[in-house]
Structure formats: structure tokens, C-alpha cells
Amino acid sequence: MDPLISSARCRILAADAEGVAKAAEAIREGLLVGLPTETVYGLAARGDDERAAARIFAAKGRPESNPLILHVADMASARSCFTDQWDAMTQRRFERAGKLWPGPLTLVGPKHERIPAIVTAGQDTVAVRIPDHRVAQMVLSLAGVPVAAPSANVSNYVSPTTAAHVVEGLGDHVDWVIDGGPCSVGIESTIMTLGDDHTSPMILRAGGLDVATLEKQLGEVVSVVQKSIETGKTPVTPGQFAKHYSPRKPLRIVDPRSIKRPPFGDHESSEVFAGAARWLRIRCLPSPVIPEGYDAVWTIASSGKLSEVAAGLYAVLRRADAGPFDAIDIESVDETGLGVAIMDRLRRAAHQSR
């Protein structure tokens, strides 16, 4: 057995009927479970139990000011997380957007009073999603309670897309991890507020579901909240801090057309980069040209598809972090479709290392 896995406190469960039953029972008992979803692995606990939810914040080192997403198995359970009294417009948007469930979409609306304050960080809104993953679906159905789950990584580090990633980061804090294989989408859900009669829906976090699909489904324009990265303004989504999704190694975004390793820009001339001797270049998409000035060149998506970039991104960032490199150059992608969410994550990954 992998020494890493055997040294950790947590135990790995197979994604079979027994594993699913054990995971659901553990959640019902108030324990922490690493749960596969189509986006990233979640660190799951009962969302209707303050003590269980509090364990999530402690395990991740997450500030209690950052609310959690509730995961449920079906529309009726999702509806019951929100207030009974909302207007016809909110209900209509909920029903329409809900047609995209199960999927990488999280809806934010006024919360039901039964949702504990710790889950919503004291806010009067709650975030809810139905994940599109066979194992998550079965665990959620069996658990029969809303399940709070942030990404199962130590706060601010790269999110996990395999069970082994969860064990690496949180193995000493989680009771069980259910191994549902690598996540198919690979980046977190798109978060959208439902708005109401007077306010339009708004994307708070770009993610695995693109804006065009949402707009088509809702039949109206959905605005995207301005990125908080450079402004320093209080973000609408508390988790949208610049420092996020970051590998430990210094990382910068480069133009895929650059053949030579680019010189440092003004904002990159920090000592971290200046001292770097061994460089890794990560191409998101394939290219026949071999860039110069690197010790290694990796390509994430040999298919040339953005969905493959998203699915492979976090695993590659973790591998790069563990490899013999001092600094990482990663190539940008066009900001269309999934490219919006990919570039959002790359900017956050790059920001911290400056």
C-alpha cells in the first residue's frame, strides 16, 4: 500500500455499495468524509449539524467567514434549503436553472431558517448544488440530509481531483475518503445568485458550467461579478479572494506563442522568480513548437479540448509543485466557454507567488 495512505488517519472506501453505505453512515454520525463529485472532491459533513460543519472549518484551516455549499440529491431537497417565501421570479429561475442539475452549478438564494448559521457564515443566503456523480448521488440519497462540502484541500491550496489528493492534504483530518476515481470536470462549480423580482441573476464564480448555457436555460442575461483579484474590494462571494488555488512554487502565466522563456515583467521581478534556475513550462493545449529555456515541457490536453485542460489542470499543478522545479510558466487559453473559468483559476494560482 502507498506509505502516504497507510500513514494517514483516514481510510479509503471503494466506490461500491458497501463503501457508499459506510460513507453515508459516517456523514450521518457527524464525521468528515472525502466525497467525489464531478468537479472536485468535497470535504463532506452534515450540513444540518453545527458541530459536524464546524469540523470542516477546523480541518481545512478555513476562516469561518467563508460559507459552505450544501449538496443534495434532488430538486425537492434543494428547494427545502431555501426560504419558503420567495417571489415568483426567484422560483422561476430556480426551476429553470435546476434543469441543469445534476451538474457543476451552485445556486445562491435566501436561506431557510433551518440551515445553521455556521454553514452560511451568518449570511441570510445559502449556496446549494446537486452534483453529477454517481457516487455522490448515492451517498447523498442515503444520507438523507443536506451535506456541506467545500473542496477537500487545505485552505488556499490547489483543489483535489483524486482521492489520493485528499489524503495528501487532509489525510490526518478526514475519517473516510471514498475513491470515485478522477473528477471528470476538474474545476469547481459555477456559482450563480438567483436574484429576485428586482435584481438579475449574477455569476459569483466562473466554473464548470459556462455562462452561455446558463443564459440560454434562463432566457435572460446573466452578469458576471467583477473579479476581485486586483481591486481588493470586498468580494460578494467571500471565497473569491485573490489568494486561492495556489501551488507553493512561483507560477506565472505566459503567452502560448512565446517560444523563448519570457523575461520578467514588472510585477514578476520578485526575488522568487529571479533566483529560479529550473523552469517548467506547462502547455494547456498542444503545439508543435518546443519552447526554449525550460528543463521540462508538459502538455495537459493532448486532445486540444478545454474540457481536458480543466479536467487535468489541478493534478498537473500538484505534480509540478512536487517536481524538481524552482518556477512554473503556464500557458494562457482563450477566455471563451470553459476558458473563462480556467483563466480565473490560473490568475489566482499565479497571484500568490508574486
Inter-residue contact 204 to 195 (CB < 8 Å): no
- To ligand TXA, the closest distance from the beta carbon of 266 in angstroms equals 30
Interface mask (CB under 6 A) for ligand TXA, residues 94-113, using x and -? ----------x-x-x-----
The site partner of 67 among Mg ion, ligand TXA, none (C-beta below 5 to 8 Å per kind) is ligand TXA
Interface mask (CB under 6 A) for ligand TXA, residues 68-87, using x and -? xx------------------
Residue 237 interacts with ligand TXA (CB under 6 A)?
yes
Q: Which stretch binds ligand TXA (CB under 6 A): 185-193, 226-234, 269-277, 303-311?
A: 185-193
Q: Which stretch binds Mg ion (CB under 5 A): 15-23, 51-59, 150-158, 323-331?
A: 150-158
- Give the closest residue to 202 by CA, choosing from 226, 234, 181, 170: 226
As a whole number of angstroms, the distance between CA 349 and CA 284 comes to: 15
Binding-residue total with ligand TXA (CB under 6 A): 29
Q: Which of 32, 174, 178, 204 binds ligand TXA (CB under 6 A)?
A: 204
How far is the CA of 92 from the CAs of 181, 248, 340, in angstroms?
35, 44, 27
- To ligand TXA, the closest distance from the beta carbon of 148 in angstroms equals 9
As a whole number of angstroms, the distance between CA 198 and CA 219 comes to: 16
Return the ∠ at Cα 100 (arms to 96 and 103), rounded to 5°. Answer: 150
Q: Which is nearer to ligand TXA, 8 or 69 (CB)?
A: 69
Inter-residue contact 235 to 191 (CB < 8 Å): no
Residue 123 interacts with ligand TXA (CB under 6 A)?
yes
Closest residue to ligand TXA using C-beta atoms: 239
As a whole number of angstroms, the distance between CA 189 and CA 349 comes to: 17
- Checking 222-228 for CB contacts under 8 A at 24+ apart, the result is 222/192, 227/344, 227/347
Residue 151 interacts with Mg ion (CB under 5 A)?
yes
Chain contacts with Mg ion (rule: CB under 5 A): 151
